[in-house]
Amino acid sequence: MNRIAWVIAIGYASLALISAGMYVTSTVKFIDNSQTQLQFRAPYLENATFTAIPGGWNISFQWRVDDPGRLPVRIAIFQWEVAVDNGTDSRNPFDPVKLGLEYHILRGINLDRFTGPVILAGGSRSFHWWVNETDPANVGKIAKNPADGRFTVVVIGDVVIYYVGDINERHAAYVEPTIVRA
């Protein structure tokens, strides 16, 4: 066999090895991406704190998001709405008429896929928001539950838009409506 044939054979063998490596790498990344999407859940309200301030309340929220997957997740948009349940009204906390009369807080972040906060693979992260409410009309809507003297926060729910790893594919997860005692 001449030298040119050897060079061509080595070239083809090298291309075969590179192709096999690329196939394995892309398959692993696809599996990791799919696994992260399957396991990722929207943030949940971990804690709410009410602190009296002159003329009203400082209300602090701590949201937590976990990434049990094998790739990092970047949050682009996270919007949430909560209502402070009027503890003196015995109707269901999710009753639409009751919710219409209660104090609502709507907050969130709206960034892009390059600047949003990152949750590392297998990690978790907390997000903190607070609001100082001193408007007398709104302060009057914030009431403790007379049975136990605690506040009840009703998470009405909303959405989180996220990206897995460096893949330009937008995903959505929805915040579950829940009730959190503060």
Q: Cα torsion at 126, 132, 135, 141 (round to 10°)?
A: 40
Q: Which CATH class is domain 40-181?
A: mainly beta
pLDDT at residue 123 is higher than 80:
yes
Q: How confident is the model at residue 74 (pLDDT cuts 50, 70, 90)?
A: very high
Res 18 pLDDT > 80: yes
HSE on the CB side for 133, CA within 13 Å? 18
- E strand or H helix at 58: strand 56-66
pTM for this structure?
Answer: 0.82
Quote the CA–CA distance of 70 and 55 in Å, as a whole number.
48
Distant-in-sequence, close-in-space partners of 44: CB < 8 Å, separation ≥ 6: 63, 64, 65, 175, 176, 178
